[in-house]
Amino acid sequence: MREYSTDRVDLRSDTVTQPTAAMREAIHGAAVGDDVLGDDPTVNELETKAAQMLGKEAALFVSSGTMSNAVAIRTHTNPGDEIITERNSHIYEYEGGGYAALSGCSVALVPANQGIMEPNDVANNIRKQAGSLSHYPNGSLVCVENTSNRGGGTCYPQDKLDAIAKIARDKDCATHMDGARLFNAVVASGTDPARIVRDYDSVSICLSKGLGAPVGSILVGSSEFIAEAHRWRKMFGGGMRQAGIIAAAGIYALENNIERLVEDHGRAQRFAESINQMKDFSVNLDAVQTNMVYVELTSGQDAKDIVSKLADKGVDLLDISPKSLRAVFHLHVTDEDVDVAIEAFRTL
């Protein structure tokens, strides 16, 4: 589905989506108030809806996934604590070191296979101040990313998620799930979202990625946690006034754009299988579980050069490393676009 005219196939990210006519209609009709004063009815409706869908008590609408993770980390930790997260997680790689600057935390990095951490590796990376003669920082928060972006859009098996949460709890750590693309995992696994996140104290979901809203993320958790998170959102400058204008798009996204993610997954799969058959490229098909495809360059080509040649053919991807590219499938990528993208690779 694509309602704006373009001659490009934009596979750089699922963040490039633009609101559809129906979503704009929802935005147009949104009732608004002053959310800093707590009386924007559309924001309140979105927060209630998200909390219910994820089986938690309360939710907080924030401007971005990065802010959601930052507020969560700040709420769960104290300066001098340590967060435990995957080596290539978004929190570690792409959020400007916010855990250090905004929360005063150090980070313990856990190795992973396609972005999925083993419970034992998490356990081995939780350090506690107690019993260390105060040598260690206090590991107090375990973060899990589901789906894992750098893992290839991979989904955590439920038993691993549950085991990691139990290990964290047993070691007196809080748990946070960066579920920027949680609904991709929901659709791919056929598991209820509340079940997936059941044992996690807080969860961040993004509305502005595969779900197609222009702006916004939601942090969910217990009422007590969200009340404290509200304070940190304010201090981070994230209190928004007539935010119902953008929250309306979020409600529309949650009501209309979840089931259709299966189409993005199907297109990603078809693209991945075709590219993997080409001699200069390889794709780890095991990792293609949702809407992302990481392409490895196997013949000494330079990723930036390939990106520029593909761009000349109207196809936009991101280079992730000197030897790898990423293609992300979203609601504006049609079946014909997939054909165009495959053909662009074939004729490089």
Ligand X SMILES: Cc1ncc(COP(=O)(O)O)c(C=O)c1O
Binding residues for ligand X, rule: CB under 6 A, are 64-66, 90, 145, 149, 178, 180, 206, 208, 217
Q: Which residue is nearest to ligand X (CB)?
A: 65
Task: Work out how close the CB of 69 gets to ligand X at its nearest, in angstroms, rounded to a whole number.
Answer: 6
Helix axes 261-276, 335-346, angle to 10 degrees: 20
Which of 217/269 has CB closer to ligand X? 217
| Contact (Cβ atoms closer than 8 angstroms) between residue 144 and residue 164 | yes
Find the helix or strand (DSSP H, E) in which 110 lies: strand 106-110
Which of 40/178 has CB closer to ligand X? 178
DSSP bridge partners of 107 = 83
> Three-state DSSP class for 21?
helix
343: how many CB neighbours lie within 10 A of its CB?
A: 12
Which of 81/145 has CB closer to ligand X? 145
DSSP codes joined into one string, 292-338: EEEEEE-SS--HHHHHHHHHHTTEE-EEEETTEEEEE--TT--HHHH
Nearest to 81 by CA among 93, 90, 92, 73: 73
Task: Work out how close the CB of 149 gets to ligand X at its nearest, in angstroms, rounded to a whole number.
Answer: 4
Task: Work out how close the CB of 64 gets to ligand X at its nearest, in angstroms, rounded to a whole number.
Answer: 4
| Contact (Cβ atoms closer than 8 angstroms) between residue 54 and residue 197 | yes
Task: Work out how close the CB of 178 gets to ligand X at its nearest, in angstroms, rounded to a whole number.
Answer: 5
Task: Work out how close the CB of 134 gets to ligand X at its nearest, in angstroms, rounded to a whole number.
Answer: 33
Which of 93/224 has CB closer to ligand X? 93
Task: Work out how close the CB of 99 gets to ligand X at its nearest, in angstroms, rounded to a whole number.
Answer: 13
Phi-psi region of 82 (alpha: psi -120 to 50; beta: other; left: phi over 0): beta
Which of 180/344 has CB closer to ligand X? 180
The residue written with tokens 């750089």 in the block is 12
Task: Work out how close the CB of 114 gets to ligand X at its nearest, in angstroms, rounded to a whole number.
Answer: 14
Which of 328/344 has CB closer to ligand X? 328
Task: Work out how close the CB of 130 gets to ligand X at its nearest, in angstroms, rounded to a whole number.
Answer: 31
Which of 90/176 has CB closer to ligand X? 90
Which of 145/201 has CB closer to ligand X? 145
Describe the strand order of the beta sheet including 81-86 as a list of residue ranges.
58-62, 217-221, 202-206, 174-179, 138-145, 81-86, 106-110
41 φ, ψ (degrees, to nearest 5):
-65, -30
345 vs 264: CA distance, rounded Å: 19
